[in-house]
Chains A and B, each alone.
Chain A
Amino acid sequence: MKEREKESIKDQEDRSLSIQYCPTCAQYIFYPRALCPHCWQGVPEWKESSGRGKVYTYTVVRKSYLPEFASRVPYIYALVELAEGIRLPSNIIDCPVEQIRIGMQVELAWVQGDFGFIPVFRRIEV
């Protein structure tokens, strides 16, 4: 049962981020699947992510046609590379759009958005 409850990567109770890992070929998996897409052999397990990563790429959305986002422009829509190597689409919060850079170190945060309680990232001051 526990596995079925974890179909989503979001683990709201402890605010950690769970990602899939294949014990057969020792690779991380995103998005979640029932069968490892790398080796087609392993049944994925859930592991807690470090929640740390860096900005692999980004854009600043200055005009959005999505009604939920129209009033939020400009905002940062980024692809974050976790320390585990997988990449997640996300937003970078608490960062002025002029300061966003590729390679910026970020860490996990959670926000309540129009699409639910979702994992986002905030810059780590270094």
Chain B
Amino acid sequence: MTIRGRTAISGMAELKPLIDAGGRSSMELLAEVAALAIEDAGLKKSDIDGLLLTPPAEGNGFMWPAQMAEYLKMSPSYINMVELGGASACAAATRAALGVAAGLCKHCLCLSGGIWDPQVFNDQEGKTAVMSKAEMEYELPYGPMGFNSAYAWIAQRHMYEFGTTPEQMAKIAVDQRQNALANPEALFNEQALSIEDVLNSPLIVDPIHRLEIVRPCSGAAAVIVSSSEIAADMPQLPVFLLGMGEACSHNSIVYSDNITLSPVKDSARRAFAMAGQGPGDMDLLSLYDCYPITVIITIEDAGFCPKGEGGGWVESRDLTYRGPLPLNTHGGQLSFGQPSYAGGMSHLTEAVRQLRGQAGKRQIKNHRLAFVNGNGGVMSTQSSLILGRDRA
């Protein structure tokens, strides 16, 4: 029995990302976005009986789902935390669909986000908090620069194997900024970028420049997953969950057999198979973008072009909301910002907006099907989703 089309996203909300949360706590942001999401869905608080959270951005994470349920004074029948790094938000939607389809809950709220505290992020403890024992022992002594150097390794090898160029990678940041200019909610939405601007920004870890690195910030996002039958009678146009696929092949990129080939090839294949759709059917790409190389590899491994040709693919196309197959129309995390784990939910909320036809100035013309991908760690955990405006 498949869960294809049995559930839909019936509500969603997103706070505007901010560099400074003005002294507010993660719980405050999550509560605010939860209230906005049930309003969007036309639900009351008492209708929500499922709660899925991504990990907290600050403080003590012990019993985090119960902490948050208590803060919100909820008593859900289905509750959990999903920790797949940047893939957590898409994976939460999948787990919400499972809970709803199994009858464990009726309306499942997926909550993500929190505050960005430079004090926490910049001290040694914060830097090593995300490292495994193996990373501490075998990587730290050599001076890695966190995710930056890991993705730099991938980009360098991709350039070596396939001839991918710095200009091709920069193009992604440039086109996504064009999209952000049409998004009043984006963190960086005032100034267009040129490829020269990107390549003239400081090299941080070869071949990655400053303008190709995601910007952490504060914010939150939420989606509500309901059964398709119920969603059909709710105020918003339902966005059906037609395909879901996951994959994981490593934690640290050191242990990937082939660092230019990601588990997206499995997660996307599984999602397309469930949906009964292929890459050629998609109207929108909403792809986790911590760095441009992440997007290039996702495009290749999801089957939008042959392996190794992602650089040429992005170079030859208009990736903006005006183009034939738009990419990250909200600006992507590179321009929208990365509000903790809600950065990975922004690809999902934007796809919902576009499929509903609520994207305003950046609304795409054809908006029937979207491919959404969440990526955790260093091309480690993958959660792919196919969303559709039609149930079948």
Q: A65-B127, A72-B143 are in contact. Are A31 and B137 (CB under 8 A)?
A: yes
The answer to whether A88 and B138 have CB atoms under 8 Å apart is yes
The answer to whether B153 and A79 have CB atoms under 8 Å apart is yes
Interfacial residues of chain B within 138-166, with CB under 8 A of chain A in the complex: 138-146, 149, 152-154, 156-157, 160
Q: Which listed residue (A31, A79, A91) contacts B143, Cβ 8 A?
A: A91
The answer to whether B143 and A75 have CB atoms under 8 Å apart is yes
Whether, in the assembled complex, A89 has its beta carbon less than 8 Å from a beta carbon of chain B, the answer is yes
The answer to whether B156 and A61 have CB atoms under 8 Å apart is no
Stretch at the interface among B79-87, B200-208, B345-353: B200-208
The answer to whether B138 and A77 have CB atoms under 8 Å apart is no
Contacts of B145 in A (CB 8 A): 61, 63-66, 77
* Shortest beta-carbon distance from A66 to chain B in Å: 6
Q: A59-B156, A59-B206 are in contact. Are A66 and B143 (CB under 8 A)?
A: yes
* Shortest beta-carbon distance from A107 to chain B in Å: 17
* Shortest beta-carbon distance from B375 to chain A in Å: 19
Contacts of B149 in A (CB 8 A): 59, 61, 77
Interfacial residues of chain A within 47-77, with CB under 8 A of chain B in the complex: 56-69, 72, 75, 77
The answer to whether B138 and A89 have CB atoms under 8 Å apart is yes
Whether, in the assembled complex, B124 has its beta carbon less than 8 Å from a beta carbon of chain A, the answer is yes
Where chain A touches its partner, the secondary structure class is strand
Contacts of B206 in A (CB 8 A): 59-60, 62
* Shortest beta-carbon distance from B28 to chain A in Å: 29
Whether, in the assembled complex, A43 has its beta carbon less than 8 Å from a beta carbon of chain B, the answer is no
Number of interface residues of B (CB under 8 A): 30
Whether, in the assembled complex, A87 has its beta carbon less than 8 Å from a beta carbon of chain B, the answer is yes
Whether, in the assembled complex, B259 has its beta carbon less than 8 Å from a beta carbon of chain A, the answer is yes
How far is it, in angstroms, between the C-alpha of A111 and the C-alpha of B140 when the chains are bound? 15
Flag B109-147 by CB within 8 Å of A: 1 or 0 each. 000000000000010100100000010011111111110
Q: How many A-B residue pairs have CB under 8 A?
A: 86
How far is it, in angstroms, between the C-alpha of A91 and the C-alpha of B139 when the chains are bound? 10
The answer to whether B156 and A77 have CB atoms under 8 Å apart is no
Q: Which of A63, A79, A103 has the most CB of B within 10 A?
A: A79
Chain B residue with the shortest CB-CB distance to A89? B139
Contacts of A124 in B (CB 8 A): none
* Shortest beta-carbon distance from A82 to chain B in Å: 13
Whether, in the assembled complex, B254 has its beta carbon less than 8 Å from a beta carbon of chain A, the answer is yes
Q: Which listed residue (A65, A75, A102, A113) contacts B141, Cβ 8 A?
A: A113
How far is it, in angstroms, between the C-alpha of A57 and the C-alpha of B160 when the chains are bound? 9
The answer to whether B141 and A116 have CB atoms under 8 Å apart is yes
How far is it, in angstroms, between the C-alpha of A89 and the C-alpha of B145 when the chains are bound? 12
Contacts of A120 in B (CB 8 A): 142
How far is it, in angstroms, between the C-alpha of A31 and the C-alpha of B139 when the chains are bound? 11
Q: Which listed residue (B122, B140, B154, B208) contacts A65, Cβ 8 A?
A: B122
* Shortest beta-carbon distance from A12 to chain B in Å: 14
Contacts of A89 in B (CB 8 A): 138-139, 142, 144, 254
The answer to whether B205 and A60 have CB atoms under 8 Å apart is yes
How far is it, in angstroms, between the C-alpha of A120 and the C-alpha of B160 when the chains are bound? 23
How far is it, in angstroms, between the C-alpha of A57 and the C-alpha of B205 when the chains are bound? 13
* Shortest beta-carbon distance from B294 to chain A in Å: 15
How far is it, in angstroms, between the C-alpha of A87 and the C-alpha of B256 when the chains are bound? 10
How far is it, in angstroms, between the C-alpha of A20 and the C-alpha of B243 when the chains are bound? 41
Report B's interface with A, CB cutoff 8 A.
122, 124, 127, 134, 137-146, 149, 152-154, 156-157, 160, 202-208, 254, 259
- Besides the known contacts A57-B156, A66-B140, A89-B144, 8 further A-B residue pairs in the complex with CB atoms under 8 A apart: A56-B157, A62-B202, A63-B204, A65-B146, A66-B143, A75-B143, A89-B139, A120-B142
Residue pairs across A and B with Cβ atoms less than 8 A apart, 29 shown, are A56-B157, A57-B157, A57-B160, A57-B259, A58-B156, A59-B207, A60-B205, A61-B143, A61-B145, A61-B205, A62-B203, A62-B205, A63-B145, A65-B146, A66-B124, A66-B145, A75-B143, A77-B144, A77-B149, A79-B259, A88-B254, A89-B138, A89-B139, A89-B142, A89-B144, A89-B254, A114-B141, A115-B140, A116-B141
